[in-house]
Amino acid sequence: MKDEIVVVGAGGHAKVCIEILREMGETVAYCVGDANALDRCVGVPVLRGDENLMSLYAAGYRRVFVAIGSNRLRNSLATSAIDIGYKLTNAIHPKAILSPTVRCGEGVAVMAGAVINAESTIDSLAIINTGATIDHDCDIGRAVHIAPQCVLAGNVKVGAFSFLGIGSKVIPERTIAENINLGAGSVVIDDLLGSGTFVGVPARRLNK
Ligand SMILES: CC(C)(COP(=O)(O)OP(=O)(O)OC[C@H]1O[C@@H](n2cnc3c(N)ncnc32)[C@H](O)[C@@H]1OP(=O)(O)O)[C@@H](O)C(=O)NCCC(=O)NCCS
């Protein structure tokens, strides 16, 4: 069996994740990209087409990191990889600060400068992006993306597949339901329920 990691994705998010994995002392053998992917991603050779996951498994690779920004696609590609037999690995930058009491799932990305405080839970396939802060007792759901420089106060819940745009903020003890898109720079002072897009200060539903 090979210890090197296969990264699914070959775009900008994959670049960041590959460099985190290298900072952790890991080696990324291949990226698996789509038909339009470039030949290399920060120096890693790119194989085009998801069917390559199967042939790499047959060649002895067992560890995968899914580096796709879209929450739904990240989840479905991770599920496919698990079905083949892969194990999801985490990419946690050594310069992120995680409390020892944080519970972390699989396939999680935590970028440089992020801070996650006591007894928070980060479910599988979540992204805690550059410089985001998650305070104590937060509950971040499956395949959530917390964008750069977001600030979540204590006891905040974010449901599966939700996306918090860059620089958004959430006051303590608020719940953001599943499948919510929160616009950049928004401030959440009420629970956001139902799915949909919310923007502004304070955050209100965007009715197009
Ligand atoms: C919220 C968001 C998803 C909406 O995108 P969209 O559905 O394409 O919406 P539009 O650009 O058509 O804007 C619709 C309206 O919402 C307003 N709006 C959009 N984003 C807003 C925001 N973040 N804050 C306040 N108002 C916003 C627009 O001004 C527009 O208002 P109008 O109808 O009065 O002109 C997007 O604007 C956004 O903020 N994305 C965050 C991206 C991000 O943080 N990426 C990080 C990657 S790591």
Go through the domains of the chain in sequence order and give each one's CATH number: 2-89 (3.40.50.20), 92-197 (2.160.10.10)
d(CA 197, CA 46): 34
- Residue to probe by mutation, ligand 1, list 151, 169, 199, most atoms within 8 Å of CB: 199
pLDDT at 63 over 80: yes
Percent of the chain whose pLDDT exceeds 70: 100
b/e per residue 40-59 (b: at least 16 CB within 10 A) = ebeebebbbeeebbeebbee
d(CA 108, CA 55): 24
Q: State both tokens at 13.
A: 């998010």
pLDDT at 135 over 90: yes
Q: State both tokens at 150.
A: 């977001």
The stretch 36-63 carries a mean pLDDT of 97
Q: Is 189:176 a contact under the CB 8 Å cutoff?
A: no
Which pLDDT does position 133 carry in this prediction?
Answer: 98
pLDDT at 208 over 80: no
Which pLDDT does position 67 carry in this prediction?
Answer: 98
CA distances from 50 to 62, 63, 109 (A): 15, 15, 21
Where does the pLDDT of residue 207 fall: very low under 50, low under 70, confident under 90, or very high at 90 and above?
confident
Ligand 1, CB within 6 Å, residue ranges = 129, 147-148, 165-166, 181, 183-186, 197, 199-200, 206
d(CA 131, CA 127): 12
d(CA 189, CA 202): 6
The rounded mean pLDDT for the chain is 98
Where does the pLDDT of residue 18 fall: very low under 50, low under 70, confident under 90, or very high at 90 and above?
very high
d(CA 103, CA 121): 5
The stretch 104-133 carries a mean pLDDT of 99
- Residue to probe by mutation, ligand 1, list 206, 207, 208, most atoms within 8 Å of CB: 206
- Give the type of residue at 178: E
Q: Please give the DSSP secondary-structure letter assigned to residue 192.
A: B
Q: 150-204 pLDDT, tens per residue?
A: 999 999 999 999 999 999 999 999 999 999 999 999 999 999 999 999 999 999 9
Where does the pLDDT of residue 87 fall: very low under 50, low under 70, confident under 90, or very high at 90 and above?
very high
